[in-house]
Amino acid sequence: MATLRFLAHYVRANLEVALAYRAAFAAKVFAMVVNDGIWVAFWWLFFERFPSVEGYGFRQIVLVWAIGTTAFGLSSGIAGGASTIAAKIASGDLDFYLVLPKPPVLHLVVSRMDPGGIGDALFGIATFAFLARPSAREAVAFAILVVIAASIIVAYAVATNSIAFWAGRADTIAEQAMFGLITFSTYPERLFSTPVKAVLYTVVPAGFVSFVPVALVQEWDWGWAAVLVGVAGGSLLGSKAIFDAGLRRYASGSILAMRG
Amino acid sequence: MTPRRRRGMLAHRARVIGAHAIVTLRDQGAYLGELALGGAILFVFLFVLSCLWTATFRAQESSLLGGLTLVQMTWYVTFTEALVMSRVNVARRIDEDIRTGNLAHALLRPGGYLTARFGAYLAERLVRFAFSLGFGSVVALALAGPVVIDPVAALGAIVATGLAFVLEFAIIAGIGLGAFWTEDTSSIYFLYTRVSLLLGGVLIPIELFPEGAAIVARALPFAPMIHGPARLALAPDGTGFLSVIASLVVSLTVVGTMMAVGYRSGLERLTVQGG
| Chain A, nearest residue to B205 by Cα | A46
| Residue A155 within any structural domain of the chain | yes
How confident is the model at residue A102, as a pLDDT?
A: 79
How confident is the model at residue A256, as a pLDDT?
A: 62
DSSP codes joined into one string, chain B: --HHHHHHHHHHHHHHHHHHHHHHHHHGGGGHHHHHHHHHHHHHHHHHHHHHHHHHHHHHT-S-BTTB-HHHHHHHHHHHHHHHHT---HHHHHHHHHHHSHHHHHTTSTT-HHHHHHHHHHHHHHHHHHHHHHHHHHHHHHHH------HHHHHHHHHHHHHHHHHHHHHHHHHHHGGGT-S--HHHHHHHHHHHHHHTTSSS-GGGS-HHHHHHHHHSTHHHHHHHHHHHHTSSSSTTHHHHHHHHHHHHHHHHHHHHHHHHHHHHH------
Q: Taking 70 as the threshold, does the pLDDT of residue A135 lie above it?
A: yes
- Averaged pLDDT score across all residues of chain A: 91
From the list A175, A180, A193, the residue facing B44 with the nearest CB is: A180
CB–CB contact B191 A31 (8 Å)? yes
Q: Taking 70 as the threshold, does the pLDDT of residue A227 lie above it?
A: yes
pLDDT per position as a tens digit, B91-134: 999 999 988 888 888 888 777 899 999 999 999 899 899 999 99
Q: Which of A148-152, A159-163, A170-174, B130-134 has the lowest mean pLDDT?
A: A170-174
Compute the count of residue pairs across chains A and B with CB atoms less than 8 Å apart: 72
From the list B40, B52, B55, the residue facing A176 with the nearest CB is: B40
| Residue A252 within any structural domain of the chain | no
| Residue B274 within any structural domain of the chain | no
Place B168 in a pLDDT band, splitting at 50, 70 and 90.
very high
H, E, C per residue of chain A: CHHHHHHHHHHHHHHHHHHCCHHHHHHHHHHHHHHHHHHHHHHHHHHHHCCCECCECHHHHHHHHHHHHHHHHHHHHHHHHHHHHHHHHHCCCCHHHHCCCCCHHHHHHHCCCCHHHHHHHHHHHHHHHHHHCCCHHHHHHHHHHHHHHHHHHHHHHHHHHCCHHHHCCCHHHHHHHHHHHHHHHCCCHHHCCHHHHHHHCCCCCHHHHHHHHHHHHHCCCHHHHHHHHHHHHHHHHHHHHHHHHHHCCCCCCCCCCCCC
- Averaged pLDDT score across all residues of chain B: 89
| Residue B39 within any structural domain of the chain | yes
Q: Taking 90 as the threshold, does the pLDDT of residue A254 lie above it?
A: no
Query: What is the CA A65 to chain-centroid distance, rounded?
Result: 13
How confident is the model at residue B252, as a pLDDT?
A: 96
How confident is the model at residue A155, as a pLDDT?
A: 98
How confident is the model at residue B109, as a pLDDT?
A: 77
Contacts of A190 in chain B (CB under 8 A): 55
Q: Taking 70 as the threshold, does the pLDDT of residue A257 lie above it?
A: no
How confident is the model at residue B275, as a pLDDT?
A: 43
How confident is the model at residue B70, as a pLDDT?
A: 97
Residue among A160, A134, A152, A151 at smallest CA distance from A216: A134
The mean pLDDT of A22-26, rounded to a whole number, is 86
pLDDT per position as a tens digit, A111-121: 999 999 999 99
Place B29 in a pLDDT band, splitting at 50, 70 and 90.
low
Which domain, by its residues, includes A158? Answer: 2-247
| Residue A61 within any structural domain of the chain | yes
| Residue A256 within any structural domain of the chain | no
Residues of B with CB under 8 A from a CB of A: 33, 36-37, 40-41, 44-45, 48, 51-52, 54-56, 59-60, 183-184, 187, 190-191, 194-195, 197-198, 203-204, 208-210, 213
The mean pLDDT of B251-273, rounded to a whole number, is 88
Q: Taking 60 as the threshold, does the pLDDT of residue B30 lie above it?
A: no
pLDDT per position as a tens digit, B215-230: 999 999 999 999 999 9
The mean pLDDT of A112-136, rounded to a whole number, is 95
How confident is the model at residue B166, as a pLDDT?
A: 97
Q: Taking 60 as the threshold, does the pLDDT of residue B273 lie above it?
A: no
Which domain, by its residues, includes B143? Answer: 3-269
CB–CB contact B204 A42 (8 Å)? yes
Q: Which of A29-38, A148-157, A206-215, B263-272 has the lowest mean pLDDT?
A: B263-272
CB–CB contact A50 B60 (8 Å)? yes
pLDDT per position as a tens digit, B50-59: 999 999 999 9
Q: Which of A232-241, B36-45, B83-92, B259-268 has the lowest mean pLDDT?
A: B36-45
Number of domains in chain B: 1
Q: Taking 70 as the threshold, does the pLDDT of residue A258 lie above it?
A: no
| Chain A, nearest residue to B35 by Cα | A172
Q: Taking 60 as the threshold, does the pLDDT of residue B274 lie above it?
A: no
Q: Taking 80 as the threshold, does the pLDDT of residue A48 lie above it?
A: yes
How confident is the model at residue A22, as a pLDDT?
A: 87
From the list A54, A179, A184, the residue facing B41 with the nearest CB is: A179
Give A208 to chain B, closest Cα distance, Å: 18
The mean pLDDT of B59-74, rounded to a whole number, is 94
Q: Taking 60 as the threshold, does the pLDDT of residue A216 lie above it?
A: yes
Contacts of B44 in chain A (CB under 8 A): 179-180, 183-184
| Residue A180 within any structural domain of the chain | yes
CA–CA gap between residue B23 and residue B123 (Å, rounded):
9
Q: Taking 70 as the threshold, does the pLDDT of residue B26 lie above it?
A: no
What's at A182, amino acid-wise? I
Mutate to test the interface with B, among A176, A181, A182, A189 (most CBs of B within 10 A): A176
The mean pLDDT of A29-41, rounded to a whole number, is 93
How confident is the model at residue B99, as a pLDDT?
A: 85
Number of domains in chain A: 1
Q: Which of B142-146, B194-198, B236-240 has the lowest mean pLDDT?
A: B236-240
